[in-house]
Amino acid sequence: MSAYLVEPEHIAELCKFAWRNTHDAHCVNMVHRRVILSGSETEKRQTAARILAEANIASIEARYPDSPDMLIDGFVDLVLAELKSQPNLMLGANDIWNMAQCLDYQSCEVEAGPIRMPIGSSMA
């Protein structure tokens, strides 16, 4: 499998969608079956974004240990900065689902795998 670093906006939009004011979302560690985030909505977005960005980086480092040029310096900070922009209202639930699947695939090279971010019942 090949892996690549997704765009910072990719992760930020997932987190903005997951923690909108219109529904409650939970960030779940599917290995241990427990919710792992607490705090304000902003803190949850930031923590989830950091975890997801670090999982993407770890996957690339695991897959391509001799190719540090595939990484972007300050990637996590770029993702966190993107959280401050307005959500892309053109993205629907199907887009978010596809983006989550993409990120999951691009972050699967480490044994622990990424955490899973259930989108919630609003996708039905």
pLDDT in tens, the chain (124 residues): 678 899 999 999 999 988 876 556 666 766 667 776 777 888 888 988 998 999 999 999 999 999 988 999 999 999 999 999 999 999 999 999 999 999 998 988 876 544 444 444 333 3
Domain span at residue 20 reads 8-123
Q: What is the pLDDT of residue 8?
A: 97
Q: Which residue matches tokens 């019942």? A: 121
The reply to whether 1 falls in a domain is: no
The reply to whether 3 falls in a domain is: no
Q: How many domains does the chain have?
A: 1
Q: What is the pLDDT of residue 32?
A: 67
Q: What is the pLDDT of residue 117?
A: 45
Q: What is the pLDDT of residue 121?
A: 34
Q: Quick one: tokens of 104?
A: 């999951």
* Contact present, 112 and 60 (Cβ < 8 Å): no
- Greatest extent of the chain over all pairs of C-alpha atoms, in Å: 44
Euclidean distance between the first and final Cα of the chain, in Å?
31
This prediction's pTM: 0.80
13: helix, strand or coil = helix
Q: What is the pLDDT of residue 120?
A: 43
The reply to whether 2 falls in a domain is: no
Q: What is the pLDDT of residue 124?
A: 34
Ramachandran angles phi, psi of 35, nearest 5°: -70, 135
